[in-house]
Amino acid sequence: GAGVSQSPSNKVTEKGKDVELRCDPISGHTALYWYRQSLGQGLEFLIYFQGNSAPDKSGLPSDRFSAERTGGSVSTLTIQRTQQEDSAVYLCASSFTTSNYEQYFGPGTRLTVT
Amino acid sequence: AQKITQTQPGMFVQEKEAVTLDCTYDTSDPSYGLFWYKQPSSGEMIFLIYQGSYDQQNATEGRYSLNFQKARKSANLVISASQLGDSAMYFCAMRTTGFQKLVFGTGTRLLVSP
């Protein structure tokens, strides 16, 4: 079946502009996660959604970052007033539930802020 | 706090040899899961193997096995009969019942030579 898909694959934006990154999880997966991988860094958790519960936003680095998940499926990560330090690969993952099932990752969106 | 430590920034192995990638973890939660992911140069995170904290036996998946030593809080990945296609970054990660996000180590870059 289809895996996790993300769009766009690459995004170049000017400092100060807003960007939206999209994630389409695997069908039937109730949990959805966003992570960020900066150059030379490990993966950093941003936010997680489980069903209709309130999302866990504890990893969002600032109030410029927000995310929503519509209809329990597609998710959009929005970064307002982008800064150069926001340049990174943004990875989305999904899993069946929040029990100990593996998370399946999408190909990522490479964001470059100039 | 949850923490994953990977002390080997880079490892080299010859084709057909076995290699062990080290991972130690720290958590006070008695219930947790340990994961290994492979990230080739294409950037996608590929799930390799999972070990639950209550599993009695070490996990195996094909050429991958996890050497789980609970008392030492280590979860080393063993790759048998290395192949050129195994060259990639390898990340160890943990998820606990209290924190559904994955916490990642900094990764180990494996290079397999002919």
Per-residue pLDDT, averaged over A11-26, amounts to 97
The CA distance from B93 to A42, in Å, is 11
Of residues A44 and A100, more confidence is placed in A44
Residues in A whose CB is inside 8 Å of some CB of B read: 31, 33, 35, 41-43, 45, 48, 50, 56, 59, 89, 91, 93, 98, 100, 102-108, 110
- Asked whether the bond before A25 is cis by omega within 30 degrees of 0, the reply is no
Of residues B21 and A98, more confidence is placed in B21
Percent of chain A whose pLDDT exceeds 70 = 96
Nearest CA in chain B to A47: B101
Per-residue pLDDT, averaged over B94-114, amounts to 89
Mean pLDDT computed over every residue of chain A? 91
- Do the Cβ atoms of B84 and B37 come closer than 8 Å? no
- Do the Cβ atoms of B85 and B92 come closer than 8 Å? no
Residues in B whose CB is inside 8 Å of some CB of A read: 32-33, 35, 37, 42-47, 50, 52, 91, 93, 95, 100-107
SS3 (DSSP) at B86: helix
Amino acid at B34: L
Do B100 and A48 lie within an 8 Å CB cutoff? Answer: yes
Would the pLDDT of A100 be above 60? no
CA quadruple B18, A40, A77, A21: dihedral, nearest 10 = -80
Would the pLDDT of A40 be above 90? no
pLDDT given at position A90:
97
Tell me which chain A residues have a C-beta less than 8 angstroms from the C-beta of B101: 33, 45, 48, 56, 59
Do B45 and A105 lie within an 8 Å CB cutoff? Answer: yes
pLDDT tens column, B21-72: 999 999 988 889 999 999 999 888 999 999 999 998 999 999 999 999 999 9
pLDDT given at position B98:
67
Mean pLDDT computed over every residue of chain B? 93
- Do the Cβ atoms of A108 and A8 come closer than 8 Å? no
Of residues A53 and B61, more confidence is placed in B61
pLDDT tens column, B65-93: 999 999 999 999 999 999 999 999 999 99
Would the pLDDT of B99 be above 80? no
- Do the Cβ atoms of A64 and A57 come closer than 8 Å? no
pLDDT level of residue B108 (50, 70, 90 thresholds): very high
Measured between CA atoms, how close is B74 to chain A, in angstroms? 18
Per-residue pLDDT, averaged over A21-29, amounts to 93
Do A102 and B101 lie within an 8 Å CB cutoff? Answer: no
Q: What is the 3-state secondary structure (H, E, C) of chain A?
A: CCCCEEECCEEEECCCCCEEEEEECCCCCCEEEEEEECCCCCEEEEEEEECCCCCECCCCCCCCEEEEEHHHCCEEEEECCCCHHHCEEEEEEEECCCCCCCCEECCCEEEEEC
Tell me which chain B residues have a C-beta less than 8 angstroms from the C-beta of A89: 43
Do A106 and B43 lie within an 8 Å CB cutoff? Answer: no
pLDDT given at position A98:
59
